[in-house]
Amino acid sequence: MKLTSSAFIYGSQIPERYGYKFDNVNPPLKIENIPDDAISLVLIMDDPDAFSAVGKIWVHWTLWNISPHISEIPENSIPDDCVQGLTDFEEIGYGGPAPPDKKHTYIFKVFALDTILDLKEGCTRTQLETAMIGHIISEANLTGTFLP
């Protein structure tokens, strides 16, 4: 699989409008080469650099039960019938980059699964990742940096 965005290229600066303290809308994402046997997709966005500042990898967005027939998540939207989880902002839905101390790297990860997950809206990343165990058939990621 391959994950890209028309808003920024792999490893480059994520535009300010996608930041938590700015417009706080998700960037457009394109998913390519989804396996034919995928039943659903999962998307996780996190900030591993937050560990040095706040003592944990900060969760910015989780989505699951995304149809494997979609190839794009447009800006400021989510696919029909998918479910969103709780961020470390204690909110459901997208929470954009918000580095507390310096430039941080953000990772968007997409996973193709061989199942639909039986999880309710607002579940945590830990609950999501536990449910994914044994069901991942492919994955891809996209990284970007952010410093307002």
Q: According to the model, what pLDDT value does residue 148 have? A: 74
What per-residue confidence (pLDDT) applies to 12?
98
Tell me the one-letter amino acid at 130.
T
Centre a 10 Å sphere on the Cβ of residue 100 and count the other Cβ atoms it contains.
Answer: 11
Q: Is the pLDDT of residue 53 over 90?
A: no
Query: Across the strands, what pairs with 32?
Result: 2
Q: Which residues fall within 8 angstroms of residue 83, CB to CB, at 6 or more apart?
A: 63, 64, 65, 117, 119, 120, 121, 123
Strand 104-113, strand 2-4: pairing: unpaired
pLDDT in tens, 2-22: 999 999 999 999 999 999 999
Among candidate residues 87, 23, 15, the one with its CA nearest the CA of residue 50: 87
pLDDT digit string, tens, across residues 106-139: 999 999 999 999 999 999 999 999 999 999 999 9
pLDDT digits over 62-72, tens only? Answer: 999 999 999 99
Three-state DSSP at 94 gives coil
- In this prediction the pTM is 0.97
Query: Six-digit token pair at 113?
Result: 């699964």
Question: Computed from CA positions of residues 37, 39, 45, 51, in that sequence, does the dihedral angle turn out positive or negative?
Answer: negative
Mean pLDDT of the chain: 97
